[in-house]
């Protein structure tokens, strides 16, 4: 079984030492022996070949000051010897495509398993050219078909193959760096999106109640009013005030008072629709912007909130049970406001009327400074009376 050599242990030749070539060629090869051909090549050619190999080493194991270019040559004669060889310091492997009982693909598979980074050049006869493309697809850096088994041009062909391998390796490195950069960019973008989402949530959310804040409510009001005015859609606005909250807050303390505010906010939110904008207006006042809502629907929602807050209060300790809620409702078809500011003012006036009439009530703003209770609204819009009943 082959074991891949960890990348951090691959040292190629030691720094300051010549590059090392491994030749894999059996004694019965039809190609001439490679060592004499390589050893007898012109020194300048070998030096250039060696320097190309040096340039392919990891930067950690060579420097431009290395003065050794001529390669050292090792040889193994079979696949078994290849399995036993120390490949950690090899810069280039040149292999015959025939090793007795082993084939080129056996060599490629083994080397790519233990040294996927090393340059591997396969040699064969002209009639072996048909397997060249398959060998390269399997992992060989190049396949050289030698006419009549002659190796006289081997050093030049090796130099060409190594140059191609250098270009390929550089392209792969750039691709890895690009992929890594794209991944890092995607992570940074996602982090930025998350940060923006958090900032947007913080900018529009009341920290204590997690409802919308007054700033966000104002923006939603402007948009809802513009839509209602343009298309004639119904629109309602509710203002709610907690009755008796100040006395309870003074009695139980501000921390408990904040908890009661947060509980009330959850009750209000739970009894509104997803499209409604539920906001803390300030202190113990809350608002609900209800797009596409007629007066009877808004009154039904207000009544539902009133009942559910009452149920919540009954579950509180005795010292906290003096809490109640009053609701003022304004609706564009009912009070006919001229603008969004008037709509808000109408709801505020209706809230004042509800508190003045005994608290714990719902009042709706009508035309010409008139106010309607739930019973009055039933006669004002008789077809919708059934919708005013609290939901089950």
The residue extents of the domains of the chain are 7-176, 214-388
Mean pLDDT of the chain: 82
User: Confidence band (pLDDT; 50, 70, 90) for 3?
Assistant: low
Q: Residue 302: what pLDDT?
A: 96
Please state, in angstroms and rounded to a whole number, the distance separating the CA atoms of residues 113 and 244: 79
Quote the pLDDT of residue 333.
93
Tens digits of per-residue pLDDT, 68-87? 455 677 888 888 888 988 88
**Distance between CA atoms of 188 and 127, rounded to whole angstroms?**
54
Q: What pLDDT was estimated at residue 382?
A: 36
Establish whether domains 7-176 and 214-388 are of one fold: no
CATH number of the 214-388 domain: 3.30.70.270
Contact assessment for residue 149 and residue 138, using Cβ atoms and an 8 Å cutoff = no
CA atoms within 13 A on the CB side of 271: 27
Residue 370 in contact with residue 287, Cβ under 8 Å? Answer: no
**Can you tell me whether residue 239 is helix, strand or coil?**
strand
Point out the least confidently predicted range of 133-147, 213-227, 257-271: 133-147
Q: Is 241 a catalytic residue?
A: no
Q: What is the mean pLDDT of residues 152-171?
A: 75
* 286-338 pLDDT, tens digit each: 999 999 999 999 999 999 999 999 999 999 998 888 899 999 999 999 999 99
CATH (one of 3.40.50.2300, 3.50.50.60, 1.10.600.10, 1.20.120.160) for 7-176:
3.40.50.2300
Catalytic hit among 128, 243, 284, 348: 284
> Radius of gyration of the chain from Cα atoms?
42
Question: Distance between CA 78 and CA 88 in Å, rounded?
Answer: 18
């Amino acid at each position: 079984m082959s074991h891949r050599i960890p990348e951090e242990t691959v040292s190629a030749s030691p720094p300051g030492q010549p590059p090392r070539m491994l030749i894999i060629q059996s004694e019965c090869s039809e190609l001439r022996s490679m060592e004499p051909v390589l050893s007898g090549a012109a020194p300048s050619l070998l030096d250039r070949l060696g320097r190309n190999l040096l340039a392919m080493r990891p930067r950690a194991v060579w420097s431009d000051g290395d003065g050794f270019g001529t390669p050292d040559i090792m040889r193994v004669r079979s696949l078994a010897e290849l399995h036993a060889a120390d490949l950690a310091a090899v810069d280039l492997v040149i292999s015959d495509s025939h090793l007795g009982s082993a084939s080129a693909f056996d060599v490629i598979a083994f080397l790519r398993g233990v040294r996927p980074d090393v340059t591997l050049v396969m040699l064969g006869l002209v009639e072996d050219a048909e397997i060249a493309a398959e060998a390269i697809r399997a992992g060989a850096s190049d396949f050289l078909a030698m006419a009549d088994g002659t190796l006289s041009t081997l050093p030049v062909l090796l130099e060409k193959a190594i140059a191609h391998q250098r270009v390929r390796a550089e392209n792969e490195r750039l691709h890895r760096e690009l992929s890594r950069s794209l991944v890092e960019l995607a992570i940074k973008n996602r982090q930025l999106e998350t940060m923006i989402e958090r900032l947007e949530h913080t900018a529009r959310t009341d920290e204590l109640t997690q409802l919308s804040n007054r700033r966000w409510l104002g923006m939603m009001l402007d948009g809802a009013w513009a839509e209602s005015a343009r298309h004639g859609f119904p629109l309602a606005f509710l203002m709610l005030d907690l009755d008796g909250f100040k006395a309870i807050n003074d009695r139980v303390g501000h921390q408990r008072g904040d908890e009661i505010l947060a509980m009330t906010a959850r009750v209000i939110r739970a009894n509104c629709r997803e499209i409604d904008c539920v906001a803390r207006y300030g202190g113990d006042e809350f608002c609900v912007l209800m797009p596409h809502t007629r007066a009877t629907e808004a009154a039904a929602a207000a009544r539902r909130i009133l009942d559910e807050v009452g149920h919540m209060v009954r579950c509180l300790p005795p010292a906290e049970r003096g809490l109640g809620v009053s609701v003022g409702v304004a609706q564009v078809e009912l009070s006919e406001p001229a603008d969004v500011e008037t709509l808000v003012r109408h709801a505020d006036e209706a809230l004042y009327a509800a508190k003045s009439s005994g608290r714990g009530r719902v009042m709706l703003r009508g035309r010409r400074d008139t106010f309607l209770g739930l019973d009055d609204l039933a006669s004002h819009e008789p077809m919708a009376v059934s919708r005013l009943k609290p939901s089950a």
